[in-house]
């Protein structure tokens, strides 16, 4: 599914974020790369998607692709861990090497501004709005367009999702 293209939006690159270590940053360093932004959780039925996300990272990173994880504890408290616990869990259990950022809110009135922008994009059912569950995936083109939205039940190795990734690889 390729979502209706939204023009490049400054919030994608300039939204104030923090790394998992608490250091202030933005996504500006990723300009020119295709990205998959995912809200992640360690105690969810979808947590095994970490392994497939890491496989995508390894397969496509040399071609200008990066997965970026945003831990979120808004769905039945399924990400209760500290930053250190999240990093240890994801790397020890799933070999995660892609960047993880500080825990954020992805829905509701305190939703992070980055997710405020992402959730304007409709999914394949033409529904925009709130993130419904952990492991919802947003694809961002190298110039910052949000080009795809995949709900949690879409596995990271879904053929349509892979086609969208490969379509937007910069090299």
Judged against a pLDDT cut of 80, whether residue 11 lies above it is answered with: no
Strands 65-71 and 34-40: parallel
Question: Hey, which CATH number is domain 10-168, 3.50.50.60, 1.10.1740.10, 3.40.30.10, 3.40.640.10?
Answer: 3.40.30.10
The residues annotated with a catalytic role in the active site are 44
Tens of pLDDT, residue by residue over 37-82, are 999 999 999 999 999 999 999 999 999 999 999 999 999 999 999 9
pLDDT confidence band for 1 (50 / 70 / 90): very low
Query: Nearest to residue 137, comparing CAs of 153, 123, 155, 151?
Result: 151
Tens of pLDDT, residue by residue over 107-162, are 999 999 999 999 999 988 899 999 999 999 999 999 999 999 999 999 999 999 99
Record the pTM. 0.93
Domain ranges of the chain: 10-168
pLDDT confidence band for 10 (50 / 70 / 90): low
């Amino acid at each position: 599914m390729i979502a209706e293209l939204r023009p490049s939006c400054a919030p994608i690159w300039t939204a104030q974020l923090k790394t998992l270590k608490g250091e202030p940053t933005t996504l500006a360093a990723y300009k020119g790369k295709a990205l998959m932004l995912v809200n992640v959780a360690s105690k969810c039925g979808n947590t095994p998607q970490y392994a497939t996300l890491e496989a995508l990272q390894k397969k496509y990173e040399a071609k200008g692709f990066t997965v970026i994880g945003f831990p979120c504890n808004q769905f039945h408290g399924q990400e209760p861990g500290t930053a250190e616990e999240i990093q240890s869990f994801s790397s020890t259990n799933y070999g995660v090497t892609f960047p993880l950022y500080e825990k954020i809110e992805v829905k509701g009135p305190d939703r992070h501004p980055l997710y405020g922008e992402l959730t304007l994009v409709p999914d394949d059912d033409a529904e925009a709005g709130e993130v419904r569950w952990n492991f919802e995936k947003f694809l961002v083109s190298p110039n910052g367009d949000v080009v795809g939205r995949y709900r949690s039940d879409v596995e990271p190795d879904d053929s349509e999702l892979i086609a969208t990734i490969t379509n937007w690889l910069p090299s």
